[in-house]
Structure 1
Amino acid sequence: MLIPIRDHNPSVRRPFVTYALIATNILVFIGYSDLFAQERELMNFFQSWGMLPARLGMGEGFATLLTHQFLHGNLVHLGSNLLFLWIFGNNMEDVWGHFRFLGFYLLCGIAAAGLQFASDPNSVIPMVGASGAIAGVLGGYLLFYPRARVDLFLFLIVIFRVIPAPAWVVLGGWFALQLLGGVSTPAGVGGVAYWAHAGGFIAGVVLSYPLWQRLGGRAFWSRCLGQPPHPEARYRFVASNVPRSGKPARFRPNPWHRK
């Protein structure tokens, strides 16, 4: 298992919007966390506020194009999404500015829902999760900083390592996996909303392209060879008391799309 844990691309300005998005997702999750002990009520909640393709097809529930972005199926779902937002969101907020970044983020989430809807417009499986919007952040990041260094945590039974890799490998590989997952997953099956991930990522690249051009386009890359235009962050590695192995947790598949 390879998990991104940080990049070496410090932000210039404090990312207030990124912090606010993280806090909002956490507070919303806490707000309905009591429903996890009541499976039927939880499903009704997700059907009301998650993105339900069949409902959109009937011309209803357009508000869920926004609300679904702040709902999550469990703590792992929430934590993994916010980890990616924490790592990559600050740099995109730097590029866009605070309020434009918020608009960019939400539009990517809407685009993600749009492609998921197009992939199975009659689906009655609600989709929840922030990662369609966060996928847009990843797409924009890849366009601006393809060679920024990203640290990956390698977990392989008893092996623990931190492996650096350029952003184009990490994020490009992630996008390829979403396409592969979308093509190989039959319509009408709950689980990961791969097409939402792909749609958000593509929207992030498309929406960021005009700004990238204004900053110089290829000339922007040439100045720093695709790396951030400022000194990279450096981290000191210290010994850890993390145990080397453990019994993996068992999870039941969720009857909704998570992204």
Structure 2
Amino acid sequence: MPPITPMVRNLLILNVLMFILTDRLFPQELFALHDIRSDLFRPHQFITHMFMHGNLMHLFGNMFSLFMFGPLLERHWGEGRFLTFYMITGLGASLLYSGVRYYEISQVMDGVTAFMQNPDPIDFKNLLETAGVNLRGMESFLVEFNRNPSDPQFITQAKAFSARLSDVMVNSPMLGASGAVFGILMAFGMLFPNTELMLLFFPIPIKAKYFVLMYGAFEMYAGLNRTPGDNVAHFAHLGGMLFAYILLKLWERKRNNFY
């Protein structure tokens, strides 16, 4: 475990302070990243969301990874370049996530419009699945609606839920340092590919390059095959890794030694 470096320490302090301030003084909605169609969206959120966390475990997970892998990269690059890397990968993650999320929400909004015009129970279920809604607890309603597709009461309830669905998705924010942290993991795996890691959940030494490869593959799978109710921004993680890869290719063109 390398000693903590100045910029990593500053980022840890800033994230913890933001967590305390937004928990006690300022609303998260002001700093978390919203869809550009939301009334809550502000341009500064592309930056500020990187220093926000939803709960203590979310904060701990990201800061632990920053603490473990960040110092080696800061020593390799220096404080200024490390901070530049951190910010660019975090911003890149938010841009990729926002683009994917914009498309997903647009699909749902189109589905809502179609359902409002022709309220069919099968289309309603498909709409919920497209939106990633956990159908647990709604089975009985879906069964009864399917049995009585012309019942005004079921149609009214389904329309009301559909109308709220678009608003909820548009106004659901994304927050956390995960994009930048996944960028750090990617950089560590590329610069120190043969460094062996011992993970708590996988008590066998594994080289950094294989760890990053497996983690990236999992995030791709999870992003493309979302489990209902999954609120993890998998494409933000992938965005951080993608922008890290691009930066490393630009910065490390003349580097031939890997550890």
User: CA separation in 2, counterparts of 1:19 and 1:170?
Assistant: 25
Match of 1:103 in 2: 84
User: CA separation in 2, counterparts of 1:63 and 1:116?
Assistant: 16
Of 149, 164, 179, 2:220 maps to 179
Aligned length: 193
For residues 128-167 of structure 1, the aligned pairs below 5 Å read 128-154=175-201, 162-167=203-208
Q: Residue 14 of structure 2: SS of its match in structure 1? A: helix
Cα offsets for 1:81-132 (capped at 9, x unmatched): 1111111111111222101111110111100000111112144310000011
For the 8 Å contact 1:55–1:61, the answer to whether it is kept is no
Moved beyond 2 Å, runs of 4+? 32-35, 45-48
TM value normalised by structure 1: 0.68
What is the CA distance between 1:144 and its match in structure 2? 0.7
User: CA separation in 1, counterparts of 2:65 and 2:21?
Assistant: 22
For the 8 Å contact 1:54–1:124, the answer to whether it is kept is no
Cα offsets for 1:38-64 (capped at 9, x unmatched): xxxx8xx333211112348x9951211
**How much is the aligned-residue C-alpha RMSD, in angstroms?**
2.4
User: CA separation in 2, counterparts of 1:59 and 1:107?
Assistant: 24
Of 92, 97, 122, 1:116 maps to 97
For residues 22-41 of structure 1, the aligned pairs below 5 Å read 22-34=12-24
Structure with the larger helix share: 2
Q: Residue 197 of structure 2: SS of its match in structure 1? A: strand
Match of 1:21 in 2: 11
User: CA separation in 2, counterparts of 1:180 and 1:77?
Assistant: 21
Match of 1:236 in 2: none
Q: Residue 193 of structure 2: SS of its match in structure 1? A: coil
Q: Residue 192 of structure 1: SS of its match in structure 2? A: coil
Match of 1:48 in 2: 30
Query: Per the alignment, do residues 117 and 186 of structure 1 end up closer, same or farther by CA in structure 2, a change over 3 Å counting?
Result: farther
Structure with the larger strand share: 1
Match of 1:220 in 2: 257
The answer to whether the aligner puts 1:74 opposite 2:66 as a matched pair is no
Of 72, 80, 103, 1:91 maps to 72
What is the CA distance between 1:171 and its match in structure 2? 1.6
Q: Larger radius of gyration, structure 1 or 2?
A: 2
What is the CA distance between 1:142 and its match in structure 2? 1.4
Cα offsets for 1:154-213 (capped at 9, x unmatched): 3xxxxxx843211012221111111111101279x6610000000001111111112221
Aligned-partner residue type, residue 107 of structure 1: I
Q: Residue 150 of structure 1: SS of its match in structure 2? A: strand
Query: Per the alignment, do residues 59 and 80 of structure 1 end up closer, same or farther by CA in structure 2, a change over 3 Å counting?
Result: closer
Query: Per the alignment, do residues 125 and 186 of structure 1 end up closer, same or farther by CA in structure 2, a change over 3 Å counting?
Result: farther
Identity of aligned residues (%): 28
Unmatched segments (≥5 aa) in structure 1:
1-5, 36-41, 155-160, 222-226, 228-259
